[in-house]
Amino acid sequence: MTRKKLRREREARTLRTMIAMRCARLHRPGAELCPECESLLAYSLKRLAACPDGEAKPVCGRCQRHCYRPAERASIREVMAWSGPRILLRHPLMALGHLRDSLRRDPRK
């Protein structure tokens, strides 16, 4: 597998984890996501897979394009704001991988 493909998969894993953490704490403690979070996850993964920047994509937070619809963009921002600080304690390696990706130079420039 290529390094860029691994990065995109790591980004998808991070999305899944952050949405699941927030849903388990605020909506539905247990194994499954609530319908709202399941829908947000499916939408986010679809947008990640269809990113117009392809393999040169930066992390979504640093991207100049806004692929998300306004409602989903607001929802994912809430998820990131809630889960971001908590993921450091529960999944430190995942958080470090995301931090490394976000500090990386934008390959499009």
Is residue 1 pLDDT above 90, yes or no?
no
* Percent above pLDDT 70 for the chain: 80
Is residue 41 pLDDT above 90, yes or no?
yes
Render 17-59 in DSSP notation, one character per residue. Answer: HHHHHHHHHHT--SSS--HHHHHHHHHHHHHHHT-TTGGG---
Report DSSP state, residue 91: -
Is residue 40 pLDDT above 90, yes or no?
yes
Report DSSP state, residue 14: H
If pLDDT is split at 50, 70 and 90, which confidence band does 10 have? confident
If pLDDT is split at 50, 70 and 90, which confidence band does 30 have? confident
pLDDT top residue among 86 and 31: 86
Q: Can you tell me whether residue 80 is helix, strand or coil?
A: helix
